[in-house]
Amino acid sequence: MAKPRHRGGCALLAGLMLALALLPAPAMADELEARLKSAFLLNFVRFVRFPAERFASAEAPVDICVLSPDPLAEVLDRSLAGKVVGGHPVRLRRGERVEALRDCHLVYVSSRSSDLLDAQLSRLSGSGVLSVYESGSVKSAGVIRLYNVDKYLRFEINQAAAEREGLEPAAGLLEIGTRVRL
Protein backbone atom coordinates (compact mmCIF):
# COMPACT_ATOMS: atom_id res chain seq x y z
CA MET A 1 0.00 0.00 0.00
CA ALA A 2 1.43 3.38 -1.01
CA LYS A 3 1.87 6.18 1.52
CA PRO A 4 -0.24 9.26 0.84
CA ARG A 5 1.80 12.28 -0.20
CA HIS A 6 1.47 15.60 1.60
CA ARG A 7 3.88 17.74 -0.36
CA GLY A 8 1.48 20.65 -0.56
CA GLY A 9 0.86 20.67 3.18
CA CYS A 10 4.57 20.25 3.97
CA ALA A 11 5.49 23.06 1.60
CA LEU A 12 2.87 25.33 3.15
CA LEU A 13 4.06 24.54 6.67
CA ALA A 14 7.68 25.11 5.68
CA GLY A 15 6.74 28.41 4.06
CA LEU A 16 4.90 29.59 7.16
CA MET A 17 7.80 28.61 9.39
CA LEU A 18 10.22 30.47 7.12
CA ALA A 19 8.01 33.56 7.11
CA LEU A 20 7.84 33.52 10.91
CA ALA A 21 11.59 33.04 11.16
CA LEU A 22 12.16 36.03 8.87
CA LEU A 23 9.69 38.20 10.76
CA PRO A 24 11.56 40.55 13.10
CA ALA A 25 11.07 39.75 16.78
CA PRO A 26 9.51 43.17 17.52
CA ALA A 27 6.91 42.59 14.79
CA MET A 28 5.91 39.25 16.35
CA ALA A 29 5.76 40.92 19.78
CA ASP A 30 3.60 43.74 18.38
CA GLU A 31 1.22 41.24 16.72
CA LEU A 32 0.94 39.22 19.94
CA GLU A 33 0.27 42.34 21.99
CA ALA A 34 -2.40 43.46 19.54
CA ARG A 35 -4.10 40.05 19.69
CA LEU A 36 -4.03 40.15 23.50
CA LYS A 37 -5.56 43.63 23.54
CA SER A 38 -8.23 42.42 21.14
CA ALA A 39 -9.06 39.52 23.48
CA PHE A 40 -9.22 41.91 26.44
CA LEU A 41 -11.64 44.22 24.62
CA LEU A 42 -13.92 41.35 23.64
CA ASN A 43 -13.93 40.04 27.21
CA PHE A 44 -14.63 43.49 28.62
CA VAL A 45 -17.90 43.67 26.63
CA ARG A 46 -18.69 40.10 27.70
CA PHE A 47 -18.27 40.88 31.39
CA VAL A 48 -19.83 44.33 31.64
CA ARG A 49 -23.58 44.78 31.77
CA PHE A 50 -24.78 47.71 29.69
CA PRO A 51 -28.06 49.52 30.32
CA ALA A 52 -30.86 47.92 28.28
CA GLU A 53 -31.52 51.19 26.45
CA ARG A 54 -28.04 50.99 24.89
CA PHE A 55 -29.45 48.33 22.50
CA ALA A 56 -32.01 49.41 19.92
CA SER A 57 -33.30 45.82 19.69
CA ALA A 58 -32.54 42.26 20.79
CA GLU A 59 -30.62 41.76 17.53
CA ALA A 60 -28.69 45.05 17.65
CA PRO A 61 -24.92 44.66 17.47
CA VAL A 62 -22.42 45.32 20.23
CA ASP A 63 -20.24 48.06 18.78
CA ILE A 64 -16.56 47.98 19.66
CA CYS A 65 -15.08 51.18 18.32
CA VAL A 66 -11.58 52.44 17.71
CA LEU A 67 -10.49 56.03 17.44
CA SER A 68 -8.63 56.12 14.11
CA PRO A 69 -5.97 55.88 12.99
CA ASP A 70 -4.97 52.91 15.10
CA PRO A 71 -3.09 49.78 13.99
CA LEU A 72 -5.10 47.69 16.46
CA ALA A 73 -8.15 48.05 14.19
CA GLU A 74 -6.71 45.59 11.67
CA VAL A 75 -6.24 42.90 14.31
CA LEU A 76 -9.69 43.62 15.73
CA ASP A 77 -11.21 43.17 12.27
CA ARG A 78 -9.85 39.63 12.14
CA SER A 79 -10.43 38.63 15.75
CA LEU A 80 -13.97 39.98 16.13
CA ALA A 81 -15.32 38.51 12.89
CA GLY A 82 -18.31 36.27 13.65
CA LYS A 83 -18.22 36.86 17.43
CA VAL A 84 -21.45 37.14 19.41
CA VAL A 85 -21.89 38.54 22.93
CA GLY A 86 -25.13 37.92 24.81
CA GLY A 87 -26.96 37.16 21.57
CA HIS A 88 -25.67 40.36 19.94
CA PRO A 89 -23.28 40.18 16.99
CA VAL A 90 -20.04 42.09 17.60
CA ARG A 91 -19.22 44.83 15.12
CA LEU A 92 -16.06 46.90 14.78
CA ARG A 93 -16.43 50.57 13.92
CA ARG A 94 -13.80 53.23 13.35
CA GLY A 95 -14.05 56.97 13.80
CA GLU A 96 -11.73 59.90 13.45
CA ARG A 97 -13.57 61.98 16.04
CA VAL A 98 -14.54 60.69 19.44
CA GLU A 99 -17.91 62.47 19.23
CA ALA A 100 -18.87 60.15 16.36
CA LEU A 101 -18.35 57.14 18.65
CA ARG A 102 -20.56 58.14 21.59
CA ASP A 103 -23.20 55.58 20.54
CA CYS A 104 -20.69 52.70 20.71
CA HIS A 105 -20.67 50.23 23.58
CA LEU A 106 -16.89 50.20 23.97
CA VAL A 107 -14.47 52.82 22.67
CA TYR A 108 -10.75 52.04 22.65
CA VAL A 109 -8.36 55.00 22.70
CA SER A 110 -4.68 54.10 22.35
CA SER A 111 -1.77 55.91 23.93
CA ARG A 112 -1.85 59.60 23.20
CA SER A 113 -0.48 62.67 24.86
CA SER A 114 -1.95 63.06 28.33
CA ASP A 115 -3.79 66.30 27.51
CA LEU A 116 -5.29 64.88 24.32
CA LEU A 117 -6.31 61.65 26.07
CA ASP A 118 -8.01 63.56 28.90
CA ALA A 119 -9.98 65.61 26.37
CA GLN A 120 -11.01 62.51 24.36
CA LEU A 121 -12.18 60.63 27.44
CA SER A 122 -14.07 63.68 28.74
CA ARG A 123 -15.99 63.88 25.45
CA LEU A 124 -17.18 60.29 25.96
CA SER A 125 -18.24 60.93 29.55
CA GLY A 126 -21.97 60.68 30.19
CA SER A 127 -22.76 58.66 27.06
CA GLY A 128 -22.85 55.19 28.67
CA VAL A 129 -19.69 54.13 26.83
CA LEU A 130 -17.18 51.67 28.25
CA SER A 131 -14.04 53.69 27.53
CA VAL A 132 -10.82 51.67 27.43
CA TYR A 133 -7.57 53.54 27.13
CA GLU A 134 -3.83 53.17 27.47
CA SER A 135 -1.96 55.55 29.67
CA GLY A 136 0.75 55.79 32.29
CA SER A 137 -1.79 56.94 34.86
CA VAL A 138 -5.46 56.59 35.72
CA LYS A 139 -7.75 59.19 34.13
CA SER A 140 -10.88 60.17 36.05
CA ALA A 141 -13.11 60.15 32.94
CA GLY A 142 -11.95 56.74 31.68
CA VAL A 143 -13.50 53.43 32.77
CA ILE A 144 -10.74 50.86 32.07
CA ARG A 145 -7.03 51.57 31.76
CA LEU A 146 -4.81 49.04 29.99
CA TYR A 147 -1.12 49.11 30.85
CA ASN A 148 2.02 46.98 30.68
CA VAL A 149 3.98 45.84 33.72
CA ASP A 150 7.03 43.65 33.22
CA LYS A 151 5.76 42.57 29.78
CA TYR A 152 2.32 41.63 31.16
CA LEU A 153 -0.86 43.36 30.06
CA ARG A 154 -2.89 44.52 33.07
CA PHE A 155 -6.01 46.60 33.57
CA GLU A 156 -7.56 48.89 36.14
CA ILE A 157 -11.25 49.57 36.50
CA ASN A 158 -12.37 53.00 37.65
CA GLN A 159 -15.52 52.03 39.54
CA ALA A 160 -16.72 55.60 39.91
CA ALA A 161 -16.50 56.17 36.15
CA ALA A 162 -18.28 52.85 35.47
CA GLU A 163 -21.11 53.87 37.81
CA ARG A 164 -21.39 57.32 36.18
CA GLU A 165 -21.78 55.59 32.79
CA GLY A 166 -24.40 53.14 34.12
CA LEU A 167 -22.10 50.15 33.54
CA GLU A 168 -21.93 47.12 35.80
CA PRO A 169 -18.67 45.15 35.61
CA ALA A 170 -19.12 41.50 36.62
CA ALA A 171 -17.65 40.47 39.96
CA GLY A 172 -15.11 38.23 38.21
CA LEU A 173 -13.82 41.16 36.16
CA LEU A 174 -13.47 43.26 39.30
CA GLU A 175 -11.56 40.43 40.99
CA ILE A 176 -8.90 40.06 38.31
CA GLY A 177 -8.48 43.76 37.56
CA THR A 178 -7.16 46.41 39.88
CA ARG A 179 -9.95 48.58 41.22
CA VAL A 180 -9.63 52.30 41.65
CA ARG A 181 -12.15 54.90 42.71
CA LEU A 182 -11.69 58.51 41.58
Percent of the chain with pLDDT over 70: 81
Cα(117)–Cα(140) distance, integer angstroms: 11
Give the up-direction half-sphere exposure of residue 104: CA atoms within 13 A in the CB hemisphere.
Answer: 27
What pTM was estimated for this model as a whole? 0.80
State the fold for domain 25-180.
Rossmann fold (3.40.50)
- Choice among 2-16, 37-51, 60-74, 107-121 with the minimum mean pLDDT: 2-16
Please, what is the average pLDDT of the chain? 83
pLDDT digits (tens, 9 = 90+) for 128-157: 999 999 887 888 889 999 998 888 889 999
Q: Quick check: 62 pLDDT over 50?
A: yes
Burial environment of residue 136 by CB neighbours within 10 A (0 to 12, 13 to 18, 19 or more): exposed
Dihedral, 9, 13, 18, 24 alpha carbons, nearest 10: 140
Amino acid at 63: D
The per-residue pLDDT for 141 is 87
Cα(19)–Cα(15) distance, integer angstroms: 6
Domain segments of the chain: what residues? Answer: 25-180
